[in-house]
């Protein structure tokens, strides 16, 4: 690229206000945080995997396909050390109409107000990511939950790392809610039956009501062979029509951002409590777990109790604290302890 071209491109980026400040609207785009684990087997179950990323298997009861999702080490893409890897373990070449496989990333409305969606000044935005794997064509869907609208683009995968850059026009119809609820999904389509792929993929913004057949038209299938694999990392969403270099954040910062939605104890960790020094807890005691990061909303909390406790009850949880009631064993003394292990607090969208 000539110096003049470089300056012209820099000017375009500056015009789009993409330099400076927090640019990337995606959390854990470099696939570094994996509080739930680093390996998952999927057949018919919808579930979160690496932090902030959800697998949706639609019509899975009709599908023979299965795959393993892992947090894979990366050694051949400078600047990145982790990627999400899909490895097909059971092929599905007889695709039922209602089948679909998506990788989904969900975003709160209050974190998207800079898009100015639903106004005459709606901003373009650019989504970029790195992929490699079995050569296929897949699709990225932008799904507006608040206004039942969507936009799609396809992208290609090759056996070498490639940065995919997709720019979407601003949408002047339908403002996004300014709250902590789910407003916009980034859905990667990797497999679909005719219910979702039997139409024609439309370009530009349009209604998502009654148009399912257009959502994944023209894509290949990850499930077509057990030789198929896919790696993805470096996911970034930013305002403007240019893809800037991936915005790396420290692991500690990325972890804290993820813990707004999900928090767990380290493997083998325990939260220990004990009664006060003046009484036993043979009848009932309360204990509080203060979250490391305030949650998006009141979370669903789970844990296993042990020690001198017959039962533990999560009596109440707010976005900041979880209160537990413990029924003692009847012979617990003042210096005895009880524990919570396998503790999770989940407020995902």
- What confidence score (pLDDT) does residue 282 get? 47
Query: For residue 329, with 0-12 CB atoms within 10 Å meaning exposed, 13-18 middle and 19 or more buried, which class applies?
Result: middle
Question: Rounded mean pLDDT of 112-133?
Answer: 98
- What confidence score (pLDDT) does residue 278 get? 41
Question: Rounded mean pLDDT of 258-262?
Answer: 97
- Torsion, Cα 87 89 94 96, to 10 degrees, reads -70
Lowest-confidence segment of 18-27, 194-203, 240-249 by average pLDDT: 18-27
* 227 pLDDT above the threshold of 90: yes
Query: 343 versus 326: which is more confidently predicted?
Result: 343
- Spatial CA neighbour of 117 closest among 157, 144, 139: 144
Compute the distance between CA of residue 341 and CA of residue 236 in angstroms, rounded to an integer. 35
* 15 pLDDT above the threshold of 50: no
Alpha-carbon distances of 272 from 14, 332, 333, rounded to whole Å: 52, 15, 15
- What confidence score (pLDDT) does residue 36 get? 95
- What confidence score (pLDDT) does residue 4 get? 43
Per the DSSP assignment, residues forming a β-bridge with 286 are 325
**Residue 330 — left, alpha, or beta (φ > 0 → left; ψ -120 to 50 → alpha)?**
left
- What confidence score (pLDDT) does residue 288 get? 80
- What confidence score (pLDDT) does residue 8 get? 39
% the chain with pLDDT above 70: 81
Render pLDDT for 288-307 as a digit per residue (tens, 0 to 9). 888 999 999 999 998 877 66
Q: Residue 56: helix, strand or coil by DSSP? A: strand
Lowest-confidence segment of 75-84, 166-175, 309-318 by average pLDDT: 309-318
Query: 200 versus 45: which is more confidently predicted?
Result: 200
- Sign of the Cα pseudo-torsion (156, 122, 107, 249, in order): positive
In this prediction the pTM is 0.90
Element (H, E) at 15: helix 3-15
- What confidence score (pLDDT) does residue 329 get? 52
- What confidence score (pLDDT) does residue 45 get? 77
* pLDDT range class, residue 308, cuts 50, 70, 90: low
Residue 261: phi, psi to the nearest 5? -110, -30
* 237 pLDDT above the threshold of 50: yes
- What confidence score (pLDDT) does residue 279 get? 44
Q: How many residues does the chain have?
A: 349
* 274 pLDDT above the threshold of 70: no
Compute the distance between CA of residue 251 and CA of residue 233 in angstroms, rounded to an integer. 15
At CA 349, angle to CA 117 and CA 120, rounded to 5? Answer: 0
Compute the distance between CA of residue 127 and CA of residue 164 in angstroms, rounded to an integer. 8
Which residues in 145-290 belong to E strands, given as ranges?
Answer: 149-157, 162-168, 182-192, 206-207, 229-239, 262-264, 270-273, 285-290
Compute the distance between CA of residue 274 and CA of residue 285 in angstroms, rounded to an integer. 9
Query: 286 versus 289: which is more confidently predicted?
Result: 289
Distinct helix (H) and strand (E) counts, the chain: 3, 20
Render pLDDT for 53-89 as a digit per residue (tens, 0 to 9). 999 998 755 567 999 999 999 999 999 999 999 999 9
Neighbours of 255 (CB within 10 A): 19
Query: What is the Cα gyration radius of the chain?
Result: 23
């Amino acid at each position: 690229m000539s110096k003049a071209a470089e300056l012209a491109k820099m000017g375009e980026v500056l015009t789009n206000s993409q330099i400076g400040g927090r640019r990337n609207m995606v959390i854990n785009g470099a696939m570094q945080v994996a509080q739930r684990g680093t390996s998952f087997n999927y057949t018919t179950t919808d579930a979160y995997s690496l932090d902030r990323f959800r697998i949706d298997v639609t019509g899975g009861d009709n599908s023979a396909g299965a795959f393993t999702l892992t947090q894979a080490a990366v050694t051949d893409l400078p600047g990145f050390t982790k990627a999400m890897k899909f490895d097909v373990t059971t092929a599905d070449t007889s695709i039922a109409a209602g089948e679909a496989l998506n990788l989904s990333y969900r975003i709160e409305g209050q974190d998207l107000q800079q898009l100015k969606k639903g106004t005459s000044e709606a901003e373009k935005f650019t989504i970029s990511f790195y992929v490699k794997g079995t050569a296929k064509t897949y699709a990225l869907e932008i799904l507006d939950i608040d206004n039942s609208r969507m936009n799609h683009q396809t992208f290609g995968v090759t056996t070498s790392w490639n940065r995919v850059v997709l720019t979407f026009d601003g949408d002047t119809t339908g403002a996004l809610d300014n709250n902590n609820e789910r407003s916009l999904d980034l859905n990667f389509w990797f497999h679909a039956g005719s219910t979702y792929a039997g139409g024609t993929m439309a370009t530009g913004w349009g209604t998502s009501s009654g148009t399912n057949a257009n959502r994944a038209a023209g894509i290949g299938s990850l499930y077509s062979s057990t030789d198929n694999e896919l790696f993805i990392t470096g996911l970034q969403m930013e305002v403007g029509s240019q893809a800037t270099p991936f915005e790396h954040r420290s692991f500690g910062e990325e972890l804290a951002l993820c813990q707004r939605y999900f928090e767990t104890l380290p493997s083998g960790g325990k939260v220990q409590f004990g009664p006060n020094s003046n009484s036993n807890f043979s009848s009932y005691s309360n204990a509080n777990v203060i979250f490391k990061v305030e949650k998006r909303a009141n979370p669903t909390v789970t844990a296993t109790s042990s020690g001198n406790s017959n039962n533990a009850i999560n009596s109440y949880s707010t976005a900041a604290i979880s209160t537990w009631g413990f029924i003692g064993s009847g012979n617990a003394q003042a210096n005895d302890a009880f524990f919570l292990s396998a503790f999770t607090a989940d407020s995902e969208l």
